[in-house]
Amino acid sequence: MYEERYKLHPISAFINFVKGLKELILPFIIIFGVNIFRDGGVSSMFNQGWQGLIPIIIGSVVLVFLLVGGIIKWKRFVYWFEDGELRIEYGLFVKKKRYIPFDRIQSLNYTEGIFHRPLGLVKVKVETAGSGKVGQAEAELTAISREDADRIENEMEKAKRQLPEETAAEMGPHEQVEPLPKKEAKVLYRMSMKELLILATTSGGIGVVISAVAIFLSQFSELIPYDAIYEEVMLFLRFGALIVALTIFFVLLVAWVISVIMTIFANYQFTIQRDEDHIYITRGLLEKKKVSVPLKRVQGIKVSQNPLRELFGYATVMVESAGGSIGDKDEKIRLFPLVKTERMIPILAELFPELEWTPELVKAPKRSVHFFYRLDLLWFSPVFAALGYFFYPYGLLALIIVPIVVVIGIWQHRTVGYALADKQLTMQFRGISKHRFFMLKKRVQVVQVTQSYFQRRKELASINSTIKSGMMGATASTPHMEKADASRILAWFEPSGNKELKH
């Protein structure tokens, strides 16, 4: 039986071309950049006869090659549906075939770039649970129309429904599979402009931008004529420290504004929807991204608050989900980039009704408080000794760290806690930011209890529990809890319940 072959939208030839161009932009700049700095600038290239034109000739050959390559790639790429599989055939020189069974497909992620949007197209990334090998059984459809994307989704649904029926069909007459009713996706949350602004202004993105600028500048440090600058700087310094400070402030401000704008672009119109078995997250201004998370793949929820956001009652919520592709930075899916804690609870409760969202936490006992800073101080003490000895008396200023470490330790001690319900474990802890992990018992992979010699003397123990996250695990750990609490969690986690009987 011959199944209909589908092609990508022709624009994908152009997108392939642009993508190839992007990778070549650096060599191009070097080739032409070098020539510009030669005597006579660019114009000299045309004065030297054909030899001067070599870079241009090479450049245009490469361009033509890229363009043709892009077109051929598009021409060669076909996909179709057969035997409950998504089948793809592609390849520029070597023809490759990739068959992906529908029931292996974990999610279809849509992205709309600037080229896609005017034409109503999407880029579809097919994600499977992943066998651990990078790039295997994962496909990307560069540009297809919305209807085509919906068709893939429908075929997928059909195949998944058919599977159990097929086994039944072996015994009885085959039933016609009726077209599925389109599932309604309900909008649960739309990020308000205010939240978006707060997110942008309080995110750590500023550090990234500053370091990027620093790296960028350091690249050019050799080109800068320092002698000339030095004189100007001396002149500049005469204007006084005020101007220097103002300049630094201005640079920081610009960096901050850039980071704010970037964050706004990335998270514009952040929306959460859900239907029966998926959560959909849509976001982005220039490039619209849609991520779908199958609910049954969700392993746990992590709510994080850095001190600043904690002060104003805002939090970030991450979904720890199994599978996904390696090296994908969306591996940890941000369910809420930023949300008021009161507002998030009802939405979370609707998304995950089986979880308890405001459990009463059991805190660490008072006597464990010094465990949170004692060891750190011990590690620091040789540094203090060395600094105090070699840089006396100023080295002693390092001792300022001591109260800071102690205060952070006390803070961590206050935060740490756990809550145990019949089917759920909640753990809260703090590095500097506060994290709260919500885990279902059936999702916890391993529970570990550790006890050092000193903890044993004080009847304390640390508790770690690991869930699967992406290809790896994510561990929640509450250090220095009551030993009895650790035993309780172990007993709760033990499937056979031996320990519970003994208690």
Q: Quick one: which H or E segment has residue 477?
A: strand 472-482
Helices 241-267 and 226-238: crossing angle in degrees, nearest 10, is: 110
**96 in helix, strand or coil?**
strand
| 266 contacts another protein (rule: CB under 8 A) | no
Binding-site member from 202, 341, 451, 477 for another protein (CB under 8 A): 451
**CA-based end-to-end distance of the chain:** 65
| 344 contacts another protein (rule: CB under 8 A) | no
Binding-site member from 73, 116, 274, 297 for another protein (CB under 8 A): 297
Integer angstrom CA distances of residue 418 from 373, 421, 463, 480: 20, 10, 10, 12
Count of residues of this chain found to bind another protein when the rule CB under 8 A is applied: 33
Among residues 306 and 487, whose Cβ is nearest to another protein? 487
Binding-site member from 163, 252, 448, 500 for another protein (CB under 8 A): 448
Question: Pick from 405, 193, 431: which is nearest to 306 by CA?
Answer: 431
Binding-site member from 281, 474, 476, 481 for another protein (CB under 8 A): 474
Binding-site member from 209, 466, 476, 481 for another protein (CB under 8 A): 466
CB of 462 to another protein, least distance (A): 9
CB of 287 to another protein, least distance (A): 31
Among residues 329 and 442, whose Cβ is nearest to another protein? 442
CA 299 to chain centre: 16
Binding mask 313-342 for another protein (x = CB under 8 A): ---------x--------------------
Distance CA 158, CA 174 (A): 15
On whether the CB atoms of residues 100 and 80 are closer than 8 A, the answer is no
Phi and psi torsions of 338, nearest 5° = -160, 130
Sign of CA dihedral 171, 176, 177, 180: negative
Distance CA 35, CA 95 (A): 40
CA 375 to chain centre: 33
| 487 contacts another protein (rule: CB under 8 A) | yes
Distance CA 122, CA 287 (A): 10
| 163 contacts another protein (rule: CB under 8 A) | no
Binding-site member from 73, 283, 436, 443 for another protein (CB under 8 A): 443
Applying CB under 8 A, the span of 156-164, 370-378, 426-434, 462-470 interacting with another protein comes to: 462-470
Distance CA 503, CA 501 (A): 6
Show Cβ contacts of residue 173 under 8 Å, excluding neighbours closer than 6 positions. Answer: none
CB of 378 to another protein, least distance (A): 13
Among residues 19 and 441, whose Cβ is nearest to another protein? 441
Applying CB under 8 A, the span of 187-195, 366-374, 391-399, 464-472 interacting with another protein comes to: 464-472
As beta bridge partners, residue 286 has none
Binding-site member from 133, 194, 457, 502 for another protein (CB under 8 A): 502
| 16 contacts another protein (rule: CB under 8 A) | no
The single-letter code of the amino acid at 500 is: E
| 295 contacts another protein (rule: CB under 8 A) | no
| 427 contacts another protein (rule: CB under 8 A) | no
The binding site for another protein (CB under 8 A) comprises: 297, 299, 322, 442-443, 445-453, 456, 461, 466-469, 472-474, 483, 487, 490, 493-496, 498-499, 502
